[in-house]
């Protein structure tokens, strides 16, 4: 049985992008009110008194866009300073990194994943739902800043959408040739925008691998991280290529993670919420740390039986109604 020791923590459910694979066009979300978010003190209590004692050692901060969280640098430092933590990372869209990359690095963060779904400013802005080229340019500058201050590994996440950005696979892969960057191609998932998923479908990772293999060749490789990506490398390249194949190559049997939403729900699976726990209200209602540890421990035991493919009542017509930010990153 895989050891579940990795927790993805959503700091906020809001985002400054409206990526088309996450949010339906023209539709607004009911965002969590500030008072209903886990506070920094509550999150640190859960880390120190519940999650670390039951065996979690690896943590990733997500959103929404986690850099929108007020006091995010202070929170990163508080978590990074916990001696039991073996690994702390963060996923961001990169737009605010020009201002925050150095502060985050100084606070103790060392690993970062940045979304970059296109090298073409027009396609990029089409995907993220914003007009004008300023969004791409500032995101690209944020990536450069993160590289400059020393984040290693620096990973770029690309969701491949058929007939939108799939023609860029080779160009994106080429970023690894002379930079120690780690490109991760992610299969399009039925989350947050079911209409688009039904219209566009998805491209299997194996098809993308074959395209890169035919152009340059590929060899197996590895990179520091806790995720499910299968890692390869173009021979002689400085960086690596990862393929996250949750649609075509189910990896539930090696899943080592749970998710904590911004409003305190602990969920065992991206698309299956069986056994989820409301830790925020339990904490605010005075439930003891002993009880919370027991409940989380029981959910850890249940985790191997909870399967990504066997989606729960959150699905509608085979797609999942919640967005990634509402699930917990």
Checking if the pLDDT of 49 tops 50, the result is yes
58, containing H or E segment: strand 58-62
Give the Å distances, CA to CA, from 301 to 105, 158, 278: 35, 33, 17
Predicted pLDDT of residue 115: 95
pLDDT in tens, 95-121: 999 999 999 999 999 999 999 999 999
Percent of the chain with pLDDT over 70: 84
Residues in the chain: 329
45-54, 74-83, 166-175, 200-209: range with lowest mean pLDDT: 200-209
Predicted pLDDT of residue 293: 97
31-35, 250-254, 267-271: range with lowest mean pLDDT: 250-254
49-58, 156-165, 276-285, 298-307: range with lowest mean pLDDT: 298-307
pLDDT in tens, 204-231: 999 999 999 999 999 999 888 777 789 9
Query: At residue 92, what are phi and psi to the nearest 5 degrees?
Result: -145, 160
Is there a domain that residue 159 lies in? yes
15-24, 45-54, 234-243, 277-286: range with lowest mean pLDDT: 15-24
> What pTM value is reported for the model?
0.91
Region 55-62: what's the mean pLDDT? 97
The encoded tokens of residue 47 equal 């880390």
Burial of 188 (0-12, 13-18, 19+ CB in 10 A): buried
Give the C-alpha separation, 136 to 134, whole Å: 6
Query: At residue 125, what are phi and psi to the nearest 5 degrees?
Result: -70, -30
Is there a domain that residue 1 lies in? no
Compute the mean pLDDT over every residue in the chain, rounded to the nearest whole number. 87
Higher-confidence residue of 193 and 139: namely: 139
Region 230-250: what's the mean pLDDT? 89
Checking if the pLDDT of 317 tops 50, the result is no
Is there a domain that residue 271 lies in? yes
pLDDT in tens, 91-101: 999 999 999 99
Looking at the structure of the chain, the number of domains it has is 1
Region 192-200: what's the mean pLDDT? 53
8 A C-beta contact, residue 90 and residue 59 = no
pLDDT in tens, 140-155: 999 999 999 999 889 9
Q: Which residue shows structure tokens 């990772």? A: 205
Is there a domain that residue 12 lies in? yes
Is there a domain that residue 231 lies in? yes
Is there a domain that residue 274 lies in? yes
Is there a domain that residue 116 lies in? yes
Predicted pLDDT of residue 312: 46
Give the C-alpha separation, 87 to 109, whole Å: 9
Higher-confidence residue of 282 and 15: namely: 282
Q: What is the CATH number of the domain that holds 145?
A: 3.20.20.70
pLDDT in tens, 143-195: 999 999 999 889 999 999 999 999 999 999 999 999 999 999 998 776 655 55
Higher-confidence residue of 17 and 91: namely: 91
Confidence class of residue 313 from pLDDT cuts 50, 70 and 90? very low
139-148, 226-235, 253-262, 318-327: range with lowest mean pLDDT: 318-327
Predicted pLDDT of residue 187: 86
Q: Which range of residues forms the domain containing residue 312?
A: 6-327
The encoded tokens of residue 26 equal 């023209």
- Per DSSP, what are the bridge partners of residue 240? 182
**Beta-strand (E) ranges in 77-116?**
87-92, 111-115
Q: Which long-range contacts (CB under 8 A, 24 or more apart) does 203-210 make?
A: 203/160, 203/162, 203/166, 204/245, 204/247, 204/248, 205/230, 205/243, 205/244, 205/245, 205/248, 205/249, 206/245, 206/248, 206/249, 208/160, 208/169, 208/243, 209/243
């Amino acid at each position: 049985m895989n050891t579940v020791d990795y927790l993805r923590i959503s700091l906020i459910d809001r985002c400054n992008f409206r990526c088309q694979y996450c949010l339906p066009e023209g539709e607004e979300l009911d965002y969590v009110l500030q008072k209903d978010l886990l506070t920094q003190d509550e999150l640190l209590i859960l880390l120190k008194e519940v999650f670390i004692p039951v065996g979690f050692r690896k943590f990733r901060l997500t959103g929404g866009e986690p850099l929108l969280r007020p006091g995010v640098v202070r929170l990163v430092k508080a978590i990074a300073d916990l001696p039991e933590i073996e690994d702390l990372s963060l996923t961001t869209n990169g737009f605010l990194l020009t201002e925050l990359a150095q502060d985050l690095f100084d606070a103790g963060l060392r690993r970062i994943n940045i979304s970059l779904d296109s090298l073409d400013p027009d396609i990029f802005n089409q995907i993220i739902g914003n007009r004008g080229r300023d969004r791409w340019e500032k995101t690209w500058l944020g990536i450069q800043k993160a590289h400059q201050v020393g984040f290693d590994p620096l990973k770029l996440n690309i969701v491949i959408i058929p007939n939108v950005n799939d023609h860029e696979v080779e160009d994106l892969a080429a970023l690894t040739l002379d930079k120690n960057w780690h490109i991760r191609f992610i299969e399009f998932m039925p989350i947050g925008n079911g209409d688009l998923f039904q219209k566009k479908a998805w491209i299997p990772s194996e098809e993308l691998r074959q395209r890169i293999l035919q152009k340059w060749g590929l060899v197996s490789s590895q990179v520091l991280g806790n995720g499910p990506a299968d890692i390869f490398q173009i021979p002689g390249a400085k960086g690596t290529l990862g393929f996250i194949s949750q649609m075509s190559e189910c990896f539930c049997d090696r899943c080592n993670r749970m998710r904590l939403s911004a409003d305190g729900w602990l969920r065992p699976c991206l698309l299956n919420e069986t056994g989820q726990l409301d830790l925020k209200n339990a904490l605010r209602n005075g439930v003891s740390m002993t009880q919370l540890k027991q409940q989380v421990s029981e959910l850890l035991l249940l985790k191997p039986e909870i399967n990504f493919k066997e989606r729960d009542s959150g699905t509608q017509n085979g797609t999942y109604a919640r967005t990634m930010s509402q699930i917990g990153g």
